[in-house]
Amino acid sequence: MDIQRNADPKKAEIMWDKRASDYPRYSSSEDTFEAKVLRMAEEAGVNLSGLRVLDVGSGSGKYTLRLAKKAASVTAADISGEMLRILREDAQKEGITNITTVHTDWEGFDSGNEKFDMVFCSTTPAVRTPEDFARVTELAGKFVVYLGFAGKKDSEIMNRIYAKCGITPKRFNDTPVLKKWLDEKGLTYKSAQIDHMWEKRVTAENMKRQCMDFLSGYDAPNAEKTVSEEVDEITDAEGMATDKTHALLELIIWNTK
């Protein structure tokens, strides 16, 4: 099974910094996907009250701020300084003061001797291998809450681009690897799959850049021409391009004691 993760930390940092301005931000609405995921975690027995939480690959803070409103404290670690700047900006707007941000890649993250009550990982490329699973388990005193991909992440525009370039895309399929690891370690867990679709509307220029980012790991002949043609086809009169992604995700929660 293919595992998607950041191969080059510096290149990944540059990529995520560029994507930060178009990346979804925290919303206080209870109708968001993030609100649904955390409700599912609570229904599965995760009580955030009083917990010290580590959010690995926090991004712009979509989950971080929600966690911080219930937990004692949250440490948000991310490879992108620009994502963390947005996170801090939104936290300030919300009057949230119990978040500490750490600008680092996962390999470079150093907690010192500190452990956390809970480690939270949401579709982050940082935690995708058995070594990563072992590390988050070691850092968590009570729970690990993990949201990953269960074999499907289909972008409408990328599917057309892959087909035109003759590429068979790698699968986003980390949760079977995680469950196999948990079984081998004798760790009990709860899991639930979530069928989710989201829409992204960004400038045509940013859409082209993001499509090229997805192609960077492939040998794609005439990539720029193909991307330009496909994005131009979905660009409206305002210069904005819209794409829909359909994914199958899986929420997995395990106790570390």
Q: What is the C-alpha to C-alpha distance for residues 79 and 95, in angstroms, rounded to an integer?
A: 24
pLDDT at 7: 56
Q: Name all domains of the chain by residue range, CATH numbers in brackets.
A: 9-153+170-201+245-255 (3.40.50.150)
Q: Characterize the bridge pairing of strands 189-203 and 240-255.
A: antiparallel
Q: Is the dihedral of CA 196, 172, 5, 201 positive or negative?
A: negative
In Å, what is the CA distance from 133 to each residue of 75, 83, 103, 190, 205? 18, 24, 21, 16, 36
* C-alpha distances in Å from residue 168, one per residue of 80, 145, 153: 29, 31, 13
Supply the pTM of this predicted model: 0.92
Residue 257: the pLDDT is 77
Q: Give SS3 for 4.
A: coil
**What is the model's pLDDT at position 1?**
29
Other Cβ atoms within 10 Å of 256 Cβ, number: 17
How confident is the prediction along the chain (257 residues), in pLDDT tens digits per residue?
233 444 577 888 988 999 998 899 999 999 999 999 999 999 999 999 999 999 999 999 999 999 999 999 999 999 999 999 999 999 999 999 999 999 999 999 998 888 899 999 999 999 999 999 999 999 999 999 999 999 999 999 999 999 999 999 988 999 999 999 999 999 999 999 999 999 999 999 999 999 999 998 898 888 999 999 999 999 999 999 999 999 999 999 999 97
Element (H, E) at 91: helix 81-94
pLDDT at position 2: 34
Residue 221 and residue 157: Cα distance in Å, rounded?
Answer: 17
Residue 128 near residue 177 (C-beta atoms within 8 A): yes
Query: Is-contact 101 41, C-beta < 8 A?
Result: no
